[in-house]
Chain A
Amino acid sequence: MGQRLLMKGNEAIAEAAIRAGCFHYFGYPITPQTEIAHYMAKKLPKVGGVFLQAESEIAAVNMVYGAGSTGIRVMTSSSSPGISLKQEGLSYMAGSQVPAVVVNIVRAGPGLGGIQPAQCDYFQACKGGGHGDYRQIVLAPSSVQELYELTVEAFNLADRYRIVVMILGDGILGQMMEVVEFRDKEEIADIEKPWAVTGHGGKRKQNVITSIHLDPAVLEKMNQNLQDKYRLITENECRYELYNSEDAEVFIVAYGTVARIAKSIIEMAKNEGLKVGLIRPITLWPFPQEAFDKVKDRAKAFLTVEMSSGQMIEDVRLAVNGTGPVYFHGRMGGMVPNKFDILAQIKEIYSRHINS
């Protein structure tokens, strides 16, 4: 391991991107992710890269579409209202299989909403926020260290599968500082991009990046290819953390910041003799079914905790598939779940299913 630095989450994302060989960033200011842009504006010119503040998120995502089409590593970042504007571009990139990394440091909505942390964009991120039958890989870091590591990984995944990878954080992850240990050198997947538009120079066939196929038969085939790719990703790339799971009876399911809160609850629960574990999806899409299969024999109940009205819980229910009750605890509007409230709910669940 190399340097240990105290860094803001947003800055760690920016630094990670540069380390991963991303020298092109296009974005538009919005709280609480703007430090990514500030960092890029300072650093990229020093390493021969390009930082460009677009006139809007719509322009920014299309700059990413253009840059990504040429085969380079490229990134944009925003927060919820801005990510909504980017959905059209994301759908086009899905259709034409242009890799890129997109960061959403989520804030509370709907509409202009607020600027405090939330997880209310889960559906948008995981279920295809734009039009069409498409997916993007969604990574959910829960520490500044992981923001760094998963951002590097996001670029590798994007290139490997010709897909958009979204880092789904929240205002807390973006704004907080933790210690990051940077590796001396990043593993950068060396992936050929014969599809890139770089000028054929008379030496190869024309390359075209497009998502329009007016012949339904052709478009269906193209969709089938996408679905094959999505199946492959589901098989290969599910990531999750099982925490304190060995003898746990009640499992909290939580991602990102909320998973951190869950860990502190598990400590408190232990002191009260309650056996609580954590399933922390790291890939939200593909959703890590395996984690649930692993604990299904001992899990007596699940408690999904989210900073939303209950979005991931739909995937949790599918994954649990009736093998146990699934409860919910959520806060909205930028309010953060309180560990004492969650512990109280766990006690209730315990008395209903375990001590009864």
Chain B
Amino acid sequence: MAIIFQKPKALKDTSMHYCPGCTHGIAHRLVAEAMDELNIEGDTIGIASVGCSYNSYDYFGCDMIQCPHGRAPAVATGVKRSNPDKIVFTYQGDGDLAAIGTAEIIHAAARGENITVIFINNTIYGMTSGQMAPTTLLNQFSTTTPYGRQADLHGFPIKVCEMLATLEGAAYIERVSLHDVKHIRKAKEAVKKAFKVQQQKKGFSLVELLSTCPTNWGLNPVEALNRIRDEMIPNYPLGVFRGESLEV
């Protein structure tokens, strides 16, 4: 019998704890497929952050470190600088990367730190039950914006790719989406490219994946995917923000 579909080798054979309709699982799969295809799992060190994916070490088979909220790029820097030939990636949510971890991500990018950042933007703090994230859209409800996010009170959403793309140290920055098969395929290419950029020592790479949090959005899985298409992409345009012509 021919096997036409199986788990990537770099994903462990366990069931995931994510809610139904959550795209964290898809994002994990893409990272694992990239590790498989580049045959790097054994040389990779992943940095798990603080968010619903805090225990991504239960799913990824490579060596991993769990680190404090927002500090993954700094921890990754320590690993990479002491082991320049290893592949190092962080897996961070939008609260983790764009709120408490803003300083670390900006400086890692500015230093051109040769690491790969997988950035899960679901416009909310998933794990702590739905508070506003820096990426929460205007008028979006959350448990800390019970009357909707207002620019005058809560400021504007942070566009991470656009912001980091201004930094010369950043080699490759792309935003992709996980809301349908076509876009997932594209996302896969972006994730793989990010790892290749690192393999070829070209510098800092980051892929932002527009993701769902049906639980805290109060939507069912299908509605949540549609929300990415209808509300998120218009505010977070897809595309390559840096390193378009970078050959890998």
Contact = CB atoms under 8 A, between A and B. Distances in A.
A29 B129 CA distance: 9
A112 B143 contact: no
Interface residues of A, number: 19
A34 B68 contact: no
Interface stretch (A36-44, A92-100, A117-125, A304-312): A36-44
B81 to A, nearest CB: 23
Given A29-B125, A81-B68, A112-B54, A53 B147 contact: no
A255 interface: no
Contact of B144 (A30, A37, A58, A81): A37
A31 interface: yes
A55 B147 contact: no
Q: Which secondary structure characterizes the binding site on chain B?
A: loop
B145 interface: yes
B200 interface: no
A51 interface: yes
Nearest to B125: A29
A292 interface: no
Interface residues of B, number: 23
Most buried by B among A31, A42, A58, A112: A112
Most buried by B among A29, A41, A42: A29
Contact of A34 (B102, B131, B154): B131
Contacts of B145: 41
Most buried by B among A53, A111, A112: A53
B138 interface: no
A45 B100 contact: no
A251 interface: no
B132 interface: yes
B100 A38 contact: no
Interface string B80-105: 00000000000000010001101000
A56 B70 contact: yes
B128 A34 contact: yes
Contact of B128 (A29, A45, A55, A57): A29
Interface in B182-198: none
B66 interface: yes
Contacts of B144: 29, 37-38, 41, 51, 53
B146 interface: yes
Given A41-B143, A42-B146, A81-B69, A53 B128 contact: no
A157 B225 CA distance: 51
A28 interface: yes
Contacts of B54: 112
